[in-house]
Amino acid sequence: MLKLQKILGGVAAVVVGDFILLYIFFHTIFRFFTPGHPLGLGQGIVVGIASCIFFWIGWCMPLLFLVGLAGWFLPGGGYLVLKETGRALIIFVAITATFVAGLYIGSIGVVDPIAYKLWYVVQMMSSPLVAIIGDHTQGGGFPVYGRPSEMGQIYTSTAGLLNLLCIVNAVYMAYIRKTQDVEQ
Amino acid sequence: MLALAAIVMAEFTIPEEIGTNPRSLLLLLPLLVSIAVVYKATKVSGVSAGNFLKESALLFGSILVFIVITALALAAVAWFVVG
3-state secondary structure A81-144: HCCCHHHHHHHHHHHHHHHHHHHHHHCHHHCCCCCCHHHHHHHCCCCCCHHHHHHHHCCCCCCC
Q: Is the CB of B39 inside 8 Å of chain A's CB atoms? A: yes
> Who among A107, A149, A169 is closest to B42 (CB)?
A169
Candidate from A29-38, A64-73, B53-62 with smallest mean pLDDT: A29-38
How many C-beta neighbours within 10 Å does residue A60 have? 10
Query: What was the pLDDT predicted at B23?
Result: 83
- Do residues A151 and B21 touch, judged by C-beta distance below 8 A? no
> Cβ separation of B34 and A106 shorter than 8 Å?
no
Closest by Cβ to B16, choosing from A86, A87, A148: A148
Percent of chain A with pLDDT over 70: 70
CA distance A100 to A107: 9
Higher pLDDT, A139 or B27: B27
A98 Ramachandran zone, left/alpha/beta (phi>0; psi -120 to 50): alpha
Residues of B in contact with A165 (CB under 8 A): 38-39, 42
**Dist. CA B13–CA A104, nearest whole Å:** 8
CB count within 10 Å of CB A92 equals: 19
**Total of domains in chain A:** 1
Mean pLDDT calculated for residue range A80-100: 93
Which of A95, A162, A173, A176 to mutate to test binding with chain B, by most B CBs within 10 Å of its CB?
A162
B80 in reach of chain A (CB within 8 A): no
End-to-end CA distance of chain A: 17
Dihedral sign for Cα A115, B12, A143, B24, please: negative
Contact A18, A171 (CB under 8 A): yes
Query: Tell me: the pLDDT tens digits for A91-126?
Result: 999 999 999 999 999 888 888 888 888 888 899 889
On whether the CB atoms of residues A158 and B30 are closer than 8 A, the answer is no
Question: How much is the pTM?
Answer: 0.78
Residue A13 pLDDT exceeds 70: no
* HSE, side-chain direction, 13 A CA sphere, residue A64: 29
- Candidate from A10-24, A66-80, A115-129, B67-81 with smallest mean pLDDT: A10-24
Classify the complex by whether its ipTM is higher than 0.85, answering yes or no. Answer: yes
Neighbours of B48 (CB within 10 A): 11
Q: How far apart are CA A76 and CA A64, in angstroms?
A: 14
CB contact under 8 A, A98 and B34: yes
Task: Find the domain containing A155 and state its range.
Answer: 2-183
